Structure 1
Amino acid sequence: MATSRDAGANHQRLIDAASTLFFRDGINATGIAAVAEAAGMSKMTLYAHFASKDELIVAFLDKRNERWEAAVQQTLTASESPAQKLLGLFDLHRQWLREGGLRGCPYVNSAAEFPDRNHPVRLAVERHKTGVKQHLLDLAVMAGLKRPDVLVRRLFLLLEGAFLTGALENDDSVFLLAKDLAAELIEAAQPTA
């Protein structure tokens, strides 16, 4: 009889297998049978954990977001000022692009495969992207920067653009330029004395 620890381990193995295959081959190109096989399980076991492929995709994105949030907290703790923390998020994005083998953002990749904005996968993507913007906004407000809502939109575009360009050009150094531009934006948003 399987224990809850076994069930939890199997659940995580399925998410890990899906993550590898979705990232490498694409979501729509990856079948349930391939995920089950990569996890060393049957399709029946997979369906005991996830009612549908969509549910598995959302679990993959949500689990990645949990890891992302933990990495953000670690990055924020390592920096002193809110402005340094904002720039630290550029370093973190660069690190995650490298760790993903320069394959791009799994959230953007997922959104491209699911154009319906009300689809559960798109809603998971939106949750993640909203969280990224919220971190930027919280830090901009904490730093007392002018027009934080406008600054956040600009910084978010730099992050997204650097992630996409880095993947397309197979070059994570674009984050250095994006970080320099972000520093200029942050400096320009400093309150006047």
Structure 2
Amino acid sequence: MDTNTNNSDNLDKRQAIIQKAYEVFYKEGFHAAGVDSLLDGTGISKRTLYKYFASKEELIQAVIEHYSNLQFKALETYLADHSSPAKKILALFDWLSEMVATRNPNGCLAINAKMEYAHKHDAIEGQSSLHFSAFYELIYDLCKAAHCHDAKKVAKQIHILFQGAVVGGQTEGNPEIAQLAKGVAKSLLEQALH
């Protein structure tokens, strides 16, 4: 077997572990999910799991990164239908509203990780923070592209609104929270674009 095939098999197995862990952690939570439930039905042994991940916490970091990549790919597709940067900013809230209404009964995995591991594991908290930072950077780039006055401040305000809508949607399961936040974001943008 050549090196490329070995590398491909290793990446496939590693990705299979991440995908299964993503599904289990999302459904059961990080602390509640044991290693046995992560491997159930995969044909992957504990030995193989620990070949790719030194600890459950290292696997959790990989799962958060995987989740973040999935979210941003879905968001990129969703925003492609909106023409202007300002419309894309407001569409973030529509996307969130749809997530709460149809696809995401367990909330934001990065927030879940941040809450479960607050002050307990810096690397997991850090990986979660990278997810939130990436949302801020997206909003900031869109604010700059829209030529908002004081784009950093406006981006921070909209990011705070978005995070609040994520948490509100997660705790209440109400997609209207994102729409209420969108109304405030629209007012902020109107002021910043005059």
Q: TM-score, normalised by structure 1?
A: 0.88
CA contact (8 A) 1:93 1:163 kept: yes
Aligned to 1:99: 103
Partners in 2 of 1:83 and 1:57 — Cα distance? 34
2:154 maps to a residue whose letter is: L
| TM superposition shift of 1:117 | 8.0
1:70 to 73, 77, 83: 73
Is this contact kept in 1: 2:96–2:175, CA < 8 A?
Answer: no
Residues 93 and 39 of structure 1: is their aligned pair in 2 closer, same or farther, counting only changes over 3 Å?
farther
Kept after mapping to 2: 8 A contact 1:75/1:85: no
Instruction: Determine the structure 2 residue equivalent to 1:136.
Output: 139
Secondary structure of the 1:116 match is coil
1:147 shift after superposition: 2.0
Structure 1 distance, partners of 2:108, 2:60, is: 14
Instruction: Mark the CA change 1:75 to 1:68 in structure 2 (over 3 Å): closer, same or farther.
Output: same
Q: CA contact under 8 A between 1:17 and 1:38: conserved in structure 2?
A: no
1:164 equivalent in structure 2 = 167
Pair 1:82 & 2:85 matched: yes
Code of the residue aligned with 1:64 in structure 2: it is Y
Q: One-letter code of the match for 1:161? A: G
- Percent identical pairs in the alignment equals 28
> Which whole-Å CA distance do the structure 1 matches of 2:188 and 2:14 have between them?
43
Give the whole-Å Cα distance in 2 for the aligned partners of 1:22 and 1:128.
17
Count of aligned pairs between the two proteins: 190
Q: Look up the match of 1:26.
A: 29
Q: Which amino acid aligns with 1:39?
A: T
Segments of structure 1 that go 5 or more residues without pairing to the other structure are: none
Deviation at residue 8 of structure 1 after TM alignment = 2.6
1:92-117 Cα shifts (integer Å, max 9, x gaps): 2233344222x221111101111238
User: Partners of 1:38 and 1:91 in 2: how far apart?
Assistant: 36
Counterpart check, 1:108 vs 2:111: yes
Out of 41, 44, 47, the position equivalent to 1:44 is: 47
Once superposed, which parts of structure 1, at least 4 consecutive aligned residues long, lie more than 3 Å away? 1-6, 95-98
> Aligned-pair RMSD on alpha carbons?
2.0
Q: 1:99 to 1:38 in 2, by over 3 A?
A: farther
1:124 alignment partner in structure 2: 127
